[in-house]
Structure formats: structure tokens, C-alpha cells
A and B are shown apart, each in its own frame.
Chain A
Amino acid sequence: MPETLSKPVPSRWHRIRHSDLAISFLSSPVTVAAAVVALLMILASVGASLVAPHNPYDMGSIDIFDSMLPPSWEEGGDTRFLLGTDAIGRGILSTILYGSRMSIFIGVVSVALSLLIGVTLGLIAGYRGGLIDAIIMRIAEVQLSLPTILVALLINGILRAVAPPSTMDKVAILVLILSIGLSNWVQFARAVRASTMVERGQEYVLAARLIGIGQLAIMFRHILPNVMGPILVIATLNLSGAILTEATLSFLGVGVPATQPSLGTLINDGTNYLFSGAWWITIFPGVALALLVLTVNLVGDWMRDALNPTLG
């Protein structure tokens, strides 16, 4: 049609603003709110050393006389500590910010590990098929029938048995990342395998094979970019799960070392003071954790609906 030809080319911003994705995003106020909250929490905790009112791990700056102060709006509160202080006088707001940084760091790295393992195994299983496919998918099936937290605990226990006890504090974070990462790869592998099996028969793959490109190059350079679509969605949905698993493991005392607490550790520490009425030490980190997981979940749910209506 000639009319469309005469129209000016829309600017890049205009194209983004009026894309299906942006319209679907902006028409869901819950998603927008969730995304804003999640982004704020992630930014605040990544920049914890700039944002936090105190550095809770600088021993010089904490004062034991500030311990167990209630939130500033309660009777006996102190305006320096908005959310109160814990048993050794650290501001709860600051420990939450530093704690979320730990939680988010471990969550992101473990999801990256799951992604790496899952995508690689999924590509190999889908492209090669046959026995190697059967073995990989059999393992995936067995692992999928077990709850994530149980698999993570078992891997954690095995790694603890392997690592000498003296080095445990140093490798605790690595153990944690490995146990969460290894317990979450199956979803990635299944999604990548399914789409690889479709791509395998496409003309461009046949063409690549005809001109003599190696199997590895075909898998990673040619097929991989075409099967990455659902990966981002699965990664986002898994991020909230990974943060939850990390918090649970740390709460159970098999997570991060006490010197580098995450939200789970903070909640666990706080339970010791629950009976003396100091609810804020436990409840505020708990609220932060629930809010983080809920908002990431909401964004992930929206992404799944908007990008991949067929994805379970």
C-alpha cells in the first residue's frame, strides 16, 4: 500500500514503546509494580555499600549499647536505625541490604550454573539422540521426581563429606552454589532438548553439515541461538526458586558461613530472639525475602505468558 510508504520511519524508542511486549507489560499494573519493586530491591542490594546507612561488618562502627533497639517508630526506637538493631547492635536495614546482596548473588550464579549444565546437556541430548539422549533424560526424570530442596540437601551433604572440614568455611559458598545449581538444570535441559530436536531437521543445519562443519560448532554456533528463546523465561522463574532454596539451606544451617550472612541466615539468627519479643530481627528479613521472591515470581509469570504461551 502506497500510504505506508510515505509514513516516516518510526524511531527506535517508538518501536520499543509500541511493540507487543511493551504493550502487554504496561497493560498489567501488577507486573509493572512487581518489576519496579524487584528492580529497586536488586539495585539497592547490589549497591549495598553505597545505599546502606551503616556497614554492619565494620566492627569499629557498631556499638554494643545500640543492641536490640526496636524500629524507630516504636517506643524506645532510635532514628539512626529505621528498622531497629540486632543483638550486637547492627542496623537491621543495613544487614538486610547486605544479606539480600548475598542471596541475589548466590541465586544468580546458581541459575547461571544450571543454565550452563542444562543447555549443554539438552543440546547434546537433542542433537545426538540415541543412547546418550536416553541416559541424560533418564537421569533428568529421576531427579525431577525428587523435590529440589531434597536434591540440594543431598548434594550439599555429599560435598561436605568430600571437602575436608577445615576448609569448610572457605568453600561453603561454592558448595551452596553447586548444590543449588546441580539441582535445577533439568528444566533447561528439557526445553532445549525439545527445540533442538525440531531444529535438527531444518535446512540450515543440513546445509552446515553438508559444507563440513563439525558437530560441536553446529550445536553451539548454529542451533543454540535458535533455541535460546524460552531460556530467559525459565531462568527468571528459576531465580526466585534458587533464592528460596538458598534461604532455606542457610536457615537450616548448611548454607553460607556465619561471617557472610544471607537473608536465610539473618532469619535463622533472629528466631533466637523471638521469645524475648524482638520480632523485628526475624520478621523484617523475612518480609524482604518474601517480597523479593514474590516480585521475581510475578515478573517471571508474566514473561512466560507473554513470550511462551505454550511453556508449562
Chain B
Amino acid sequence: MIRYVSGRLAQSLLVMFLVAAVAFSLFGFVGDPIRQMITEDASQAEIERLREVMGLNDPVTVQFWRYISGAVHGDFGVSYFHKRPVGALIAERLPATFELAGLSVLLSILIGIPLGVYTGLHRFGRGARALMALSLVGISIPTFLIGIMLIYLFSVILGWLPSFGRGETVTVLGGFWRTGFLTTSGLQSLILPSITLALFQTTMIMRLVRAEMLDVMRTDYIKFARARGLGTQAINFRHALKNTLMPVVTVIGLQLGNVIAFAIITESVFQWPGMGRLFLQAIQQVDIPVMSAYLIMIAFFFVVINLITDLAYYAIDPRLRSNALKGTAHA
């Protein structure tokens, strides 16, 4: 048990170390950072002094160590483009992305699971087949196009909902979290982006729940439950759905990373002031400190999700435990 967990932790640390190394090596590609900071008429002595102060004359390993220990404390340096600490920039944008992503995940679960159950139970029904065909079309239309079509329909033609920004935000939790959930305009602004972001996940969850339901409905214990004379409702929801949820929960967990990635696109369409747009601007401006920080944060996010999923599997599935004890690796 301890061996498995510590092995898994060591693996995660190794991945984080490699990502940090890649992120740090990016700094080497853009040339001398001093040139971005000084004025034209700075003397050679001034440049040398600045190099010494900034630690650029130290060996690379020392600089790398300084970068890592800074990153652990949330210090990622100063953005070339915004001229502000990257940590502060990210802290500002984090709430916007988390509220958007959180609401989308919630929406996709609340819509995707019932639709999946419905299409799974009425496999050959007209409604279920129409939904399946629709979901294939939904997968083929790229996220940004769905966003644009929603804007055209609800903002341009109908004029019901705002097409960009977060609306009014209110500061909560002692001043560091700006939320859009407490104002009318904030809530209205959330509707279109969260639907756009949720659509792909919804179809994914729907298809997965459908497939799992089809599998479960064929099993013996469902036949047995029928034979016992249980009602349809009890069989469908208490016996069948319950047993489909395990893989569904796992996939939703792993999909969290996807939501963060697709948030980059949604934020760009709706000019949402979140982390994704910050990262995109950084790519366009070749703003290395922001790019590196985003890289490290995303990697951390994925590593933590994967670690939790693996450990949860380990806790639930006894077969993994015996394998781990014997020391044989599993995929």
C-alpha cells in the first residue's frame, strides 16, 4: 500500500520536474532578458550590474533551482508583456475560468446523464435515435463555431444575452475571488459561454452513459430483479443506473482537464477574462514567463487529477492491490 502510493507520488514528482525543466528551458530561446528591461542608452557597467542583481551570471543549475523554488511559492517572475508579476495575473484570472468550467461540468452532468439513460433504455425509439444523430453532428461542429452561432442567435438576432465579458462581478472571500454569480448581468454573461463549453462534454457523457446502460441492462442481476417483480423505476434507477456511474464518474474526472483546455477556445470566442485568454495572448506575444507558468499549472492540474483517479481505483479495485503487492506493473 505505502509502496504503491509512494511509487505513484514519485512518478508524479518526476513528471512535474520534467515539465518544470521544459518550462525553464523556454527562457533560453528568447535571447537576453536584460535587453527587454533597459533603455537604449544604458552603459555596459549598468547592464553588468543588472545581470549580477538578477542572478543571470549564476550557473544554469542555480538559476533553475531558483525558478523551481519560486514556482512552488507561486512566484513565476514578471510578464514581459503586462509588466506585472505572473502570479498576480493568474490569481486575477483564475476565478473567471473556474466559474465557467465548474458551471459547464455541472450542466453537462445534469443534462448528459438523463439523456444517456433515456437513449439507453429506448434504444430503438425515435427520440433516442434522433438524439444520437444530433450528438454526432454536435461532435463534428467545432466549439468555436457553436459559440459563434449562439452569439448570432441570442445576442445579434434576439438581443437577449450579452456576447462578451463577465458582466458585473462582486468581490467575495476576503477580496481575492471576483464572482459573477451574484449579479444579474454576471449570471446572464455566464449562460452562453457555459453552454458552449458544456455541449461537447454533454454529448460525451450521454454516449458513455448510454453504452454503459446497454451493457448493464443485459446482466443477470437485472433479469433477476425483473423476476423478483421489482418495478421498472426501481430497476432502471436503483439497480442499473447506480452500476453505470463508476466509469462515468472516472471519465468526468479525467474530462476536467479537457474542460480547462476547451475553456481556452470558449474564452477567446466570448472575450472571457480567464486564464485561457491570458495563455493565448502569451503565445501570440511570445511572453515566456506567462507561458511557462501556465504550462506548469496545467501540468500540475493534470498530474493531481490522474493521481487522484489512480489512487481511487486502487482503493476500489482489489485486483490492482494484489498486483501492486507482487510488484508487477500494470498499464
Contacts and interface: CB of A to CB of B under 8 A. Distances in A.
A274 B151 contact: yes
Interface of A is mostly: helix
Given A157-B291, A277-B156, A282-B148, A252 B286 contact: no
Contacts of A252: 144, 264-265, 268, 280
A267 B284 CA distance: 19
A247 B143 CA distance: 11
B140 A297 contact: yes
Contact of B144 (A145, A150, A162, A248): A248
A197 interface: no
Nearest to B30: A161
A153 interface: yes
Interface stretch (B51-59, B230-238, B242-250, B254-262): B254-262
A247 B286 CA distance: 21
Contacts of B268: 251-252
Interface in A239-255: 240, 244, 247-248, 251-254
Interface of B: 15, 22, 26, 29-30, 136-137, 139-145, 148-149, 151-152, 156, 163, 254, 257-258, 261-262, 264-265, 268-269, 279-280, 282-284, 286, 288, 291, 295, 298, 302, 306
A275 interface: yes
Given A275-B163, A283-B152, 7 more contacts: A145-B257, A150-B257, A150-B261, A150-B264, A274-B152, A290-B140, A297-B136
A237 to B, nearest CB: 12
A247 B146 CA distance: 13
Given A254-B283, A283-B152, A293 B306 contact: no
Interface of A: 142, 145-147, 149-150, 153-154, 156-158, 160-162, 165, 240, 244, 247-248, 251-254, 267, 271, 274-275, 277, 279, 282-283, 286, 289-290, 293-294, 297
A161 B15 contact: no
Contacts of A275: 156, 163
Interface of B is mostly: helix
A274 B148 CA distance: 9
A244 B262 CA distance: 13
A125 to B, nearest CB: 14
Nearest to A161: B29
A142 B15 contact: yes
A155 to B, nearest CB: 10
B165 to A, nearest CB: 14
Contacts of A282: 148, 152
Contacts of A294: 136-137, 140
14 contacts: A145-B302, A147-B258, A147-B261, A158-B26, A161-B29, A161-B291, A165-B286, A240-B140, A251-B144, A252-B144, A252-B280, A293-B140, A294-B136, A297-B140
Contacts of A240: 140
A248 B143 CA distance: 8
Contacts of B29: 158, 161-162
Given A244-B142, A248-B142, A252-B268, A157 B148 contact: no
B142 A157 contact: no
Contacts of B163: 275
A145 B306 contact: yes
B282 A157 contact: yes
Nearest to B145: A286
A137 B69 CA distance: 30
Contacts of A161: 26, 29-30, 286, 288, 291
Most A CB contacts (10 A, CB to CB) among B26, B142, B306 go to B142
B61 to A, nearest CB: 21
The 3 A-B pairs at the shortest CB distance, nearest first, are namely A294-B140, A150-B261, A147-B261
B89 to A, nearest CB: 16
A198 B108 CA distance: 41
Most B CB contacts (10 A, CB to CB) among A252, A275, A289 go to A252
Contacts of A267: 144-145, 148
B257 A286 contact: no
Contacts of B143: 248
A289 B142 contact: yes
Given A150-B261, A252-B265, A157 B140 contact: no
Contacts of A153: 264, 279-280, 283
B26 to A, nearest CB: 5
B97 to A, nearest CB: 14
B52 to A, nearest CB: 26
Nearest to A147: B261
A62 B264 CA distance: 36
A150 B298 contact: yes
Contact of A147 (B262, B280, B291): B262
Most A CB contacts (10 A, CB to CB) among B137, B145, B258 go to B145
Nearest to A164: B31
Contacts of A156: 283
